[in-house]
Amino acid sequence: MFWLTICEFFGHKVDPRRVWHDGLNYRTKCRRCGSNLLRQSSGWVIFDPAAHADDRRETKSGDA
């Protein structure tokens, strides 16, 4: 995509009740665009398997 989504413009919409911890970082899904997000010191970023994959992370079970 070559246009800015509303999320890229305003930031992703995080639901604090759905945030979970994978062992390394807090994780959630954007309520608006459905992107998998990862919490870094700078803020929420889209989870990028190539950059963020780590064996120490736990996958979330249950809730889809």
The answer to whether 32 contacts Zn ion (rule: CB under 5 A) is yes
Q: Cα 9 vs. chain centroid, distance in angstroms? A: 16
* Residue 5 near residue 34 (C-beta atoms within 8 A): no
Among 19, 33, 45, 46, binds Zn ion (CB under 5 A): 33
Among 30, 38, 44, 47, binds Zn ion (CB under 5 A): 30
Structure tokens at 1: 């995509």
The answer to whether 38 contacts Zn ion (rule: CB under 5 A) is no
Count of CB atoms situated within 10 Å of the CB of 28: 22
Q: What residue ranges bind Zn ion (CB under 5 A)?
A: 7, 12, 30, 32-33, 35
